[in-house]
Amino acid sequence: MNEFELIEHIFLRLQDEQPLPASIEKAIGDDASVMALPNGARLVSCIDTLVQGRHFSADWLEVEKLAFAIGYKAVAVNVSDLAAMGATPHSILLALALPERLAYEPWLTEFAKGLFHACKLFGVTLIGGDTTRSDALVLSVSAQGLLMADTPAVYRSGAQVGDKVYVSGTLGDASYALQHLDNDIGQELSHRLHMPTPRIKLGAALAQIGATSMIDISDGLYQDLGHICQQSHVNMCLNLEQLPTSNSLAKIDLAERLLCQLTGGDDYELGFTLPAHIEVPISNTQVSCIGEVIAVEPSNNINTDNMRELLRPRLFYNGHAVTQAQPAPFTILPKLTGYQHFTG
Ligand code: ADP
Ligand code: MG
């Protein structure tokens, strides 16, 4: 069972037996939940856990060296989920399961410096948490954000046929760095892995101008845009030659690069859809159009078993469909599953 099946089959199905309170506008299934407040504003909440050996190195020396970045990233990944709803970050809670080996002042000070650096950059306040002893370092940060009364939340479920598909920043950098920290390009890109930049202003601007769907790209572009397809009941065409690429990543082999960009995690960029007549907001953040939302073929009979297979992006390269029979620019069509946090 993977994490999506677990959530669907266990949490969503059993929760169905209990009605949601009227104030909950969005529960399980998006980047964050949305709760209506009495003044028309909404409280947006999410939580993410970082586990030693899964979300960052298992190696103690690495963990000791990366104290600042680990503190920073625990905040940044949650803020990115809030940004993907269009919300403005407000506050965080931190649950820290701390191994004996790290429970000394210099490590904790560096960690806290990274955490508070992120808090200051992203406009959030640490308002509480919990601390326990554990064998491995495990960090859970929950974050709250606000949406003002006049701004709608942007869900994964609103993409419409004809919308353009966009992504912020560049893709694949963090994934390449994770696999190649030992070479020059990996080193050049390591800041993208350790210190990601949540796109707060862009997310908020997109909510205001009428983005139809949005997700934070944390587990691989292909899989994450697949969530928009599944929840919006659409397909997408994605043009591989339009995927935004950093100068450093442009130096590597094309097929390897595209694999990082489609399936690598840790980008923390925003993937979103906009009706064709709406211009992307002008900001310092690069935005690239990478495709279009298309209708599901009417002959396809979609049910819960084949939904993931049928509601997903279709890949094109210079106008040609990338298929098993014609996989160019790949030699063999790769498996496009992104990060799986639960399996394996
Ligand atoms: P993200 O990558 O944006 O953090 P996930 O893919 O981890 O989102 O989770 C998908 C959805 O399932 C989210 O809405 C999340 O809140 C929900 N979810 C994940 N794990 C659980 C759980 N144990 N209980 C309830 N909801 C969960
Ligand atoms: Mg997310």
Per-residue pLDDT of the chain (344 residues; tens, 9 = 90+): 788 888 888 888 777 778 889 999 999 999 999 999 999 999 999 999 999 999 999 999 999 999 999 999 999 999 999 999 999 999 999 999 999 999 999 999 999 999 999 999 999 999 999 999 999 999 999 999 999 999 999 999 999 999 999 999 999 999 999 999 999 999 999 999 999 999 999 999 999 999 999 999 999 999 999 999 999 999 999 999 999 999 999 999 999 999 999 999 999 999 999 999 999 999 999 999 999 999 998 877 888 778 888 999 999 999 999 999 999 999 999 999 888 776 65
Query: How far from each other are the two terminal CA atoms of the chain, in whole angstroms?
Result: 10
Cα 87 → chain centroid: 15
> Does 224 sit in the ligand 1 pocket, CB within 6 Å?
no
**Closest atom of ligand 1 to CA, residue 46:** 16
Handedness of CA 102, 106, 111, 112 (dihedral sign): positive
> Does 213 sit in the ligand 1 pocket, CB within 6 Å?
no
pLDDT of residue 262: 98
* Count of CB atoms situated within 10 Å of the CB of 110: 18
pLDDT of residue 138: 98
| Substitution site in 4, 7, 267, 341 for ligand 1 pocket (most atoms within 8 Å of beta carbon) | 7
CA trace torsion 232, 237, 239, 244 (10° rounding): 0
> Does 81 sit in the ligand 1 pocket, CB within 6 Å?
yes
Name residues whose C-beta falls within 8 Å of residue 5's C-beta, 6 or more positions apart in sequence.
Answer: none
pLDDT of residue 343: 65
> Does 29 sit in the ligand 1 pocket, CB within 6 Å?
yes
Backbone angles phi, psi at 250, to 5 degrees: -65, -15
Query: Which SS3 state, helix, strand or coil, does residue 217 take?
Result: strand
**Closest atom of ligand 1 to CA, residue 341:** 7
Cα 75 to ligand 1 centroid, rounded to whole Å: 17
- Only one residue has tokens 């960052």, namely 56
Report the amino acid identity of residue 89.
P
Rg (C-alpha) for the chain, rounded Å, is: 20
pLDDT of residue 10: 82
> Does 28 sit in the ligand 1 pocket, CB within 6 Å?
yes
Residue closest via CA to ligand 1's atom 20 equals 7
Cα 342 to ligand 2 centroid, rounded to whole Å: 15
User: 263 and 336 in contact (C-beta within 8 Å)?
Assistant: yes
User: 214 and 157 in contact (C-beta within 8 Å)?
Assistant: no
Name residues whose C-beta falls within 8 Å of residue 212's C-beta, 6 or more positions apart in sequence.
Answer: 154, 158, 159, 160, 163, 232, 273, 274, 275
Quote the CA–CA distance of 324 and 34 in Å, as a whole number: 40
DSSP class of residue 333 equals: P
pLDDT of residue 117: 98
Report the amino acid identity of residue 249.
L
Quote the CA–CA distance of 279 and 120 in Å, as a whole number: 31
User: 260 and 189 in contact (C-beta within 8 Å)?
Assistant: no
> Does 11 sit in the ligand 1 pocket, CB within 6 Å?
yes
Q: Which ligand is nearest to the CA of 270?
A: 2
- Only one residue has tokens 């939580």, namely 47
- Stated as kind and residue range, the H or E segment containing 48 is strand 42-51
